[in-house]
Structure 1
Amino acid sequence: MTYNALYSNMEGTSFLPAFLVVSSASTFIISYVTAVLRGDIDVIFPYISDTGAEPPESCIFGLLTSLTAIASLATMYARYKFIERLIDRTGGMRPCVNKAGLLFGLLSCFGMCVVATFQETVVVVVHDLGALLFFVTGVIYICIQTYISHRAHPYGSSKAMCRIRTGISLLALLALIPTVVCALLVGKTKLHWNGDEKDYGFRLASAVCEWTVAFSFVFFFLTYIRDFKLFTLTVRAELVEQD
């Protein structure tokens, strides 16, 4: 069977990345709007975690972030199985690369769950470690998937899509560095800042870059929607007779 025939007989699973994009964007936007309307955060570039630091937005943030983590897990696993099938049929790369991508994806989902569970103003160290794990492993994940997209071409992704993913990955990687470095230079954790405070510049730079990395993830998974139309996933239950 040719690949064109194989693809034409498949129904898509594009609802997975589509749902992930909607849930992740909703997490950022709803929590931010709620926190701003209540006066809990500054309007100009708060940290993403600031938008979920105080109730009731903390409840919304925790719920939607957990939902996004589950959607991310499902989407990453579906992508892993798709690439696994491509490797079986076409070769072109080592299976360990695909497995490494899944591993870093799982770690980023775990970091997301930590961020959702431990609020920034309650358990600072655990929250910050979870955020660091989420962002670092998340960027590594999309970089690996970009590499896989280039190696798998022309199966799965067009050349234009490979270039788009390369641009998004580079943007996320470049924004990640000042996100972490500037955050380390900020001496205190609080929700409201004045422009004349000592560490305000570092804090603003870190927050801007953090939002850049976060929305890079959103746009990267948005590029999955077309690819996920090329395959379906099925669940098969097998009964095992007991002696």
Structure 2
Amino acid sequence: MLWFKQGLCFLPACLVTWSSCTFIVSYLIALFREDVDVIFPYISDTGANPPESCIFGLMTFISACLGTSTMYVRYKYVEKLGQDLLVVNPKLNKAALWLGMLACLGMCIVATFQETIIPIVHDIGAFLFFLTGVLYLILQCVISKKAYPYGSTLGVCRARVFIAVLASLAFFPTIICAGFVKQTELHRHPDDKDYPFHVASAVCEWIVAFSFVCFFLTYIDDFKLFTLRVTTEYEEES
């Protein structure tokens, strides 16, 4: 059997592939149209102007849907482990799920409200996405540790911890340095006073975003181990 037909591993595989394409495709289009600089644009800069804004919005929304599905399947898998083996607290599992859902909501807000049109709402969505996304990674690392050796290997658990630490460390300069960036134009110049803050913030933003992508990559082996079934019950009226 082909690997992507085993269990539900196609879900995180699709999420990783589609999310990576979302970032790269919008960047390449914006670069081709000379809407952004070659080096260190914000991710949102690459989806600020049409037509890339339309493509970025659509692809980001699909990524959010794939993320929601993947996180819910992960939740059900951990729930099953908790029922059978009593290794994971159900409240911890639910907290991780809700944080994941909020991160996906933040993605939708970022995609819907471009930074050049309604920057305040866009910034709130971006902050929600990054904050709850990082917290989701941390809780999943805790869950993986508690569930070990069931589901994930020691190597996968360590990889998740490394990715979560990297995302956490990159999150703070992303937010802090962005507060010092005053220029609102998409094209930056090295002579601008806030240019070093822009570079630090943008680089860390890309690191956090691809940390999320790499984290979901570690789900593929886990998702090979199980499937979900939907049952329908029909009650006749008396």
- TM-score (norm. length: structure 1): 0.95
* Alignment of structure 1 residues 29-178 onto 2, 5 Å: 29-178=24-173
CA shift, 1:190, in A, is 1.7
Return the alpha-carbon distance in structure 2 between the equivalents of residues 40 and 94 of structure 1. 48
The residue identity in structure 2 corresponding to 1:120 is: E
Unaligned runs of 5+ in 1: 1-9
* Distance across 2 between alignment mates of 1:11 and 1:25: 22
Q: Which residue of 2 aligns with 1:235?
A: 230
> Do residues 25 (structure 1) and 20 (structure 2) align?
yes
Q: Please give the alpha-carbon distance, in whole angstroms, between the structure 1 residues aligned to 2:16 and 2:37.
A: 25
Q: How many residues align?
A: 234
Aligned to 1:16: 11
Tell me which amino acid in the other structure corresponds to 1:150.
K
Secondary structure at the aligned position of 1:193 is classed as: coil
C-alpha separation between the residues in 2 aligned to 1:68 and 1:210?
A: 17
Distance in 2, matches of 1:241 and 1:46, equals 59
Amino acid at match of 2:160: R
1:23-82 CA-to-partner distances (Å, cap 9, x unmatched) read: 100100000000000000001010000000000000110000000000000000000000
Q: Does 2:188 correspond to 1:190?
A: no
Q: Deviations over 1:62-114 (max 9, x none)?
A: 00000000000000000000000000111123110000000100000000000
Q: CA RMSD in A?
A: 1.0
- Cα distance in structure 2, aligned partners of 1:193 and 1:72: 32
Other-structure match for 2:211: 216
Query: Aligned to 1:200, which of 164, 182, 195?
Result: 195
Whole-Å separation in 2 of the counterparts to 1:139 and 1:110: 14
Q: Give the secondary structure class of the aligned counterpart of 2:224.
A: helix
Which amino acid counterpart does residue 158 of structure 2 have in structure 1?
R
Q: Post-superposition shift, 1:11?
A: 4.7
Post-superposition offset of 1:241: 1.7
Q: TM-score, normalised by structure 2?
A: 0.97
Query: Contact 2:103/2:132 (CA < 8 Å) preserved in 1?
Result: yes
Q: Where does the alignment leave 5 or more consecutive residues of structure 2 unmatched? A: none
